[in-house]
Amino acid sequence: MKRYARNEAAIAALTPEQYQVTQQNGTEYPGTGEYLYHRAPGIYVDIVSGEPLFASADKFESRCGWPSFTKPIATGYVSERRDASHGMIRTEALCARCGAHLGHVFPDGPRERGGLRYCINSAALRFIPIDRMEAEGYGEFLDQVEGR
């Protein structure tokens, strides 16, 4: 399994919203994320480290205002921790490699696909289309992308 390092140059290049979401545990406004209605085949990687996070085949429409996925692309790429901020108890989703905040995990996803909903900020992601996956070093995940 290839691992990706935290990239200080990538952090410096983040937009203010991307920085606020990934480095300060922020949340983009619902319904505004670039990948909310995105449907192309490929994978979503962490914007800071390049760590592969989610496959487009696991994306679904949850009507929550953020991109939603049923599971991470592979075990160990997304870590979780208890989040008691804002007067709620939630499960925070983070990039396991660099610790960037991604969003939250909820137990209200499609039951037939495991029952989880990874509610992820578009600002924490970069999309790699299927036709660029091999060239960008993500060929090992091609079998998880529809249209292959």
How is the beta sheet containing 90-95 ordered, strand by strand?
Answer: 59-60, 68-69, 117-120, 101-106, 90-95, 78-83
Q: Which of 64, 95, 98, 119 is catalytic?
A: 119
Rounding to the nearest 10 degrees, give the CA dihedral for residues 4, 8, 13, 18.
70
* Strand 101-106 relative to strand 117-120, pairing: antiparallel
Helix (H) / strand (E) containing 16: helix 16-23
Check if 64 is active-site: no
Classify 102 as helix, strand or coil.
strand
Extract the tokens encoding 57. Answer: 């085949």
Q: Under 8 Å CB-to-CB from 90, ≥6 apart: which residues?
A: 82, 83, 84, 104, 105, 106
Instruction: Report the catalytic residues.
Output: 119
